[in-house]
Amino acid sequence: MAGKKKMLDWYFWRPRLSTLSTHLVLFLAALFIASPIIFAVIKSTQSTAQISTYPPQFGIGSSMAENYKVAWQRYNLGRLMVNTFGVAISVMVGKTILSLLAALALVYFDFRFKGLIFIFILVTLMMPVPVRIVPLFKFVSSLGWGNTFWALTVPFLASATGTFLFRQHFMSIPTSLVDAARVDGVGPMRFLWQILLPMSMNTVGAMAVIEFVYLWNQYLWPLIIISSNKNQMIQMGVKQLTVSGPEGMVHWGISMAGVVITMLPPLIMFILLQEQFMRGFALTEEK
Amino acid sequence: MESKFPSRRLPLLILLPTLFVCGMFLYYPLAQSFSWSLLRAAFMGLRTLYVGTQNYVRLFTSSAYLHSMWISIVFAAGVVLLGLSISLGIALVANRKVRGARIYRTALIWPYALSPAVAGTIWLFLFNPTAGVVNFVLERTVGISPDWVTSRNLAILLVVTAAVWKNLGYNIVFFLAGLQNVPGQVIEAARIDGASAWRCFWKVTLPLLSPTAFFLLIMNMIYAFFGVFGLVDVLTKGGPANATNILIYNLYRDAFQHNKWGMASAQSVILFVMVVGFTLLQFRTTGRKVHYGG
Amino acid sequence: MKRVLVIVMLGLLVFSGLVLAQEKTKVVFWHAMSGTREALIQRMVDNFNLTHPGIEVVAEYKGSYRDTLNAAQAAAVAGNAPNVLHSFEVGTQQLLDMGIFALAQDVIDQYGVVIPWQDYLEPALNYYKIGGVQASFPWNSSNSILYYNKTLLDKAGVTMPREPTFEDIVAISRAVINAGVAEGGITWPMHSWFFEQWMAELGANLLNNDNGRSGYATEINLLDPAAVTIMNWWKQLYDEGLWINPGRESWSQARQNFTTQRVAMMISSTSDVNLTQNAAFDGGWEVGTAFMPVPLGFDRHGVVIGGGSLWLTKGHSDAEMKAAAEFVVYMSQVAQDITWHQSTGYFALRKTSLQALDLEGWYKLHPNYKTASDQLAESQISTATQGALSGVFPDIRTYIEDAAEEVYGGASVTDALTKAKGLIDQALVDYKELMGG
């Protein structure tokens, strides 16, 4: 009789323990990953005196408003973020349009050299900025685009990834749709706009997240091509955060405030679009 | 897939913008990298001198450059091994069906959206000997308080840590997606046959994850070679004594601080060859080692 | 009819607006001074714009000296170089070879502006004189001096002589540490500039061919007894824990080490006088200054001008060139010279300024500001103190600093210097070949 009861207990508790341990591990993992950020946020509220104490203080400090205000003004974060938004939106829209058009051409038409052109586009995946940076710099400068919006946007308007993704996606759409469209006298551009595009919103959303994050985080290219502070992109503001300020040293509270401000937009973008991101991008094997 | 639109001109027309940008801003500068690698240059090309393969010879016989290449490989290995193993572990746990799984997943993934420069700034602060927290924790637990930024080995460790941390989210996303494609029935079948959890993982899950794992291997290598520039620039600027002077940073310094455009172009070409190598490697082995479906 | 009239009126309004807007000649000025100095420059520029209504000078801080020079080169390639460029002294050869700058003397002759060169301190002019012709306008000139915390030294029972030796520094450092009043004895930014200053002080040319002044240099004298002595001393100070390493080229960390009283002495540019005095005042201690220390057995030869100068770019309209020249003249006037000197510590370039301040008794109250000028005045005139001229200074500085880091890491001084010399020599020869020299 006693043995039976024990068995009951075990089968009762085992799955619950398993769930509990899963929660625990996940919670700890999330905490571990987030802890540097948590630390940064806490420190962004502290004053220099509070930061300089040893052992370190982990409570909310007293200088939050002050730190954020100074960070915003001293590093001109507002201006930099506006510039970066402008560039990001333009490139996102441009890239999406160009990729949609390219995929449309490659999937729904027949023409000479189609295969070659596709390879021509794909091969650019092997050409990240650093392998062409010096001539690109010279070329863009000689166009008179040094320190301009054009330099930050035009070189990035073509996308092999986007073309590839949309092409894959289009190829998985039933061909009956195209036949129906042709029967109805719908031209290719209307077909793209009214039929293909609404069906591709997951991919569009995923690309939007990827591109926004990529452009928001641009570092090397703006570093060398933009020379005036008012045209600069946001990551160059981040670069300044670890350079000593007028006090002759780095004020970590202000720096962390700058960091928090800088990371909010891509974070928000990511949270808003995370469903599309997961769906549009991460499924490497299409069913 | 025979249903097409009839026009022969329109497709070329709408491909034109893409082809134009690719041609002018990707292929053309790349070709110039090749030609400039044969020059010695000053003042951003205002003065040049043809030197043939001298730049390449000097690079491959320079201990500094070879060291830079070595450091890049070590760094990439660290990022790949640590990054993939930790993310895989987390993804495995995150894949289980628990309440709030979605929230956990978001919490694990979002540092992906941080920039390398932001990650570098945060970690620079964390490791600051007076204001940061790492040395405090180490001192209380292990009793040591190392000088992270002036020691060569520790600097590499610092950069690897920051780089791995930043990319965990990205890896977890793809591993999760890959895990969700592992058919539950296969695992069940293996379990019923009496296989232990460990063997299940090793013989069933892992092979089915191999396309994802291989994809992540390549993406993490590209990240370690190219994407971490901002991180290095904020954390160590290639130092101390070139301990963290990875290839991309060396290129930047030679090009934009020492104004050696010929030498920098040669380095660009070498990097290009490496990228092509990675990519071809991915396409080759994808066909053989990796296990798809069934 | 009425509509036509309105359009014509609007047109005239717009046209006159455009004309008025174009009346001001715009002068773009790029400089490398950050923090309080940036604000000071802006005030000087604002004052100039007010008193010269036809000219609008726009000043922009471009980053470090290296960044500013790079920005200028990029702009030159893109065809929009600034009218006036502030460059550090070691950029001189590069700027000359680039061919986009108008020589100062030419500008003066062509646009009839007046600068009384005879009123200037000679060493400041000489650095920027190439082949007897003034190439640029000296502006912020400095040399390195020794700062010390009088309060801490008193507590440790030691005093600083006006002209200390290496051995003095070692003794004082040991005393301060043993007395427990400071963590370290001395600090200075781990920067090749100090190495170059010490080479001059010990009477050695940094480069061959008369320090690069009689022709493109092809060798650096890193195995010269002077060089070896300097590096050995650096090593000794580091190994014994007397010198605290603030980091590579880290001026601010060095300052911080000194102003937080972590160390009792600092070697830095004279441009830090104002800053350190303020910090000392806030912290309740007293700061003193002395000449650069020299090893026993070596004569004191003097120091090299550091800091920077102003260069005018060619290829602008006459109006712009004249406006830029006027701006440079303004910046070199006695009033500005004195303001700049008193607010920073860069020394007064004009003899008139020095005399005026002396008469006022200002130097009696602020002796620290005079140290650099005295050190300069007592310098011997030679190619060593005139300063090295080379187009590959970025390389030179990188490799010398690398060598220092290697020495701190345990390498032998001879090995480190030999390695650096090999790399630098090659860079020098490459540059000479490239320039067709």
CATH number (domain holding residue C102): 3.40.190.10
ipTM: 0.85
Confidence at A7, pLDDT banded by 50, 70, 90: low
> Looking at residue A8, what is its pLDDT?
64
**C375 located within any domain:** no
Is 90 exceeded by the pLDDT of residue B258? no
Domain shared by C154 and C284, yes or no:
yes
Condensed to tens digits (0 to 9), the pLDDT of residues C381-415 reads 899 999 999 999 988 998 999 999 889 988 999 99
For residue C204, is pLDDT > 90?
yes
Which residue range is the domain that position C77 belongs to? 20-142+305-365
Residues C273, C338: one domain? no
Give the pLDDT score at B201: 73
Mean pLDDT, to the nearest integer, of A237-246? 81
| Interchain CB contacts (distance < 8 Å): A and B | 276
C372 is a domain residue: no
- When mean pLDDT is compared across B145-154, C234-243, C256-265, C290-299, the lowest value belongs to B145-154
Q: How far apart are CA C183 and CA C177, in angstroms?
A: 6
Please tell me the distance in Å from A42's CA to the nearest CA on chain C. Answer: 25
What confidence score (pLDDT) does residue B279 get? 78
The domain boundary residue, chosen from C314, C334, C365: C365
pLDDT-derived band at B270 (thresholds 50, 70, 90) equals very high
Residue B154 has pLDDT above 70, yes or no: yes
Q: Is the pLDDT of residue C326 over 80?
A: yes
Q: What tokens were used for C371?
A: 């140290």
Range in C9-13, C219-223, C277-281 the model is least confident about: C9-13
- pLDDT of res. B1: 44
Asked, for residue C11, whether it belongs to a domain, the answer is no
Q: What is the pLDDT of residue C172?
A: 95
Q: What is the mean pLDDT of residues B155-166?
A: 92
pTM of the complete model beyond 0.80: yes
Mean pLDDT, rounded, for C82-100: 92
> Is residue B289 very low, low, confident or very high in pLDDT (cuts 50, 70, 90)?
very low
User: Is C41 contained in some domain?
Assistant: yes
| Contact (CB<8Å) A141/C74 | yes
Top pLDDT among C290 and B206 is at C290
The residue among C95, C405, C425 with the most chain B CBs within 10 A of its CB, best to mutate, is C405
CB–CB contact A227 C75 (8 Å): yes
Tell how strand C184-187 and strand C243-244 pair up: parallel
The answer to whether position C290 is within a domain reads yes
Same domain, C130 and C30: yes
Terminal C-alpha separation, chain B: 25
8 Å CB contact of C398 and B258: yes
Do the chains contact at C35 and A246, CB–CB below 8 Å? yes
Confidence of residue A6 (pLDDT cuts 50, 70, 90): low
The Cα–Cα gap between C341 and C358 comes to: 13
Which of the four pLDDT bands, split at 50, 70 and 90, describes residue B294?
very low
- Contact check, Cβ <8 Å, C259/A248: yes
Q: Are residues C156 and C246 in the same domain?
A: yes
Q: Are residues C283 and C360 in the same domain?
A: no
The pLDDT score that the predictor gives to residue B98 is: 73
Under the banding of pLDDT at 50, 70 and 90, the label for residue A51 is: confident
Do C34 and C114 have their domain in common? yes
Q: Which of C336, C365, C394 is the last residue of a domain?
A: C365
Residue written as tokens 């590959």?
C392
Classify residue C1: in a domain, yes or no.
no
- Cβ separation C60–A146 shorter than 8 A: no
pLDDT at A29 over 90: no
Average pLDDT over residues A154-168: 91
Chain A residues with CB under 8 Å of C79 CB are 144
Q: Which of A94-98, A269-273, C165-169 has the lowest mean pLDDT?
A: A269-273
Highest mean pLDDT among A25-29, A161-165, C149-153: C149-153
Least Cα separation, residue A222 to chain B (angstroms): 11
Q: Using H for helix, E for strand and C for coil, what is the string for chain C?
A: CHHHHHHHHHHHHHHHHHHHHHHCEEEEEEECCCHHHHHHHHHHHHHHHHHCCCEEEEEEECCCHHHHHHHHHHHHHHCCCCCEEEEEHHHHHHHHHHCCEECHHHHHHHHCCCCCHHHECHHHHHHCEECCEECCEEEEEECEEEEEEHHHHHHHCCCCCCCCEHHHHHHHHHHHHHCCCCCEEEECCECHHHHHHHHHHCCCCCEHHHHHCCCCCCCECCCCHHHHHHHHHHHHHHHCCCEECCCECCHHHHHHHHHCCCEEEEEEEHHHHHHHHHHHHHHCCCEEEECCCECCCCCCCCCCCEEEEEEEECCCCHHHHHHHHHHHHHHHCHHHHHHHHHHCCCCCCEHHHHHHHHHHCHHHHCHHHCHHHHHHHCCCCCHHHHCCCCCCHHHHHHHHHHHHHHHHCCCCHHHHHHHHHHHHHHHHHHHHHHCCC
B43 touches chain C (CB under 8 A): yes
Rounded-to-integer distance, Cα C411 and Cα C278, Å: 39
| Any C CB within 8 A of B259 CB | yes
Would you state the structure tokens that stand for residue A68, as one six-digit string? Answer: 């954020």
Q: Percentage of residues in chain B with pLDDT exceeding 90?
A: 42
Question: Do C160 and C260 belong together in one domain?
Answer: yes
What's the pLDDT score for residue A173?
86
**Residue A171 pLDDT > 50, yes or no?**
yes
- Reply yes or no on whether the pLDDT at A282 is more than 60: no
Coil, strand or helix at B50? strand
Q: Looking at chain B, which residue has its C-alpha nearest residue A262?
A: B118
Q: What is the mean pLDDT of residues B236-249?
A: 88
Residue C377 in any domain: the answer is no
Q: Is the pLDDT of residue B293 over 60?
A: no
pLDDT on residue B292: 42
For residue C161, count other CB atoms closer than 10 A to its CB: 11
With a cut of 50, say whether residue A287 has pLDDT above it. Answer: no
pLDDT of residue A283: 42
* Mean of pLDDT values over A220-231: 86
Q: By CA distance, what is A147's nearest residue in C?
A: C75
Note whether C87 contacts B: Cβ–Cβ < 8 A: no
Mean pLDDT, residues A179-198 taken together: 86
The SS3 of residue A261 is: helix
Q: Does residue B281 register a pLDDT over 50?
A: yes
pLDDT at residue A182, as a whole number = 83
Q: Quick check: is C7 in a domain?
A: no
Question: For all residues of chain A together, what is the average pLDDT?
Answer: 85
Any idea what DSSP says for residue B55? H
Q: Are residues C173 and C137 in the same domain?
A: no
Cβ contact A29:A22 at 8 Å: no
More confident site: C72 or C285? C285
Q: Number of folded domains in chain C?
A: 2
- Encode pLDDT of C146-187 as tens digits: 999 999 999 999 999 999 999 999 999 999 999 999 989 999
Q: Over 70: is that where the pLDDT of C22 sits?
A: no
- Domain coordinates in residue numbering, chain B: 62-288
Question: Contact C179/C157 with Cβ under 8 angstroms?
Answer: yes
Q: Where are the alpha helices (DSSP H) in chain A?
A: 2-43, 48-52, 64-74, 77-108, 114-123, 133-142, 149-153, 160-171, 176-183, 188-190, 197-199, 201-216, 220-225, 234-240, 252-272, 274-282
pLDDT at residue C17, as a whole number? 60
Q: Which of C332, C359, C64 is nearest to C193 (CA)?
A: C64
Top pLDDT among C54 and B294 is at C54
Evaluate whether the domain defined by B62-288 bears CATH number 1.20.58.1180. Answer: no
CB spacing of A36 vs B122 below 8 angstroms:
yes
CB-CB neighbors (< 8 A) of C395 in chain B: 258
Question: Closest by alpha carbon to C230, among C290, C288, C188?
Answer: C188
Which run of H or E residues covers position B282?
Answer: helix B261-288
Helix, coil or strand: residue B119? helix
* pLDDT of res. C138: 94
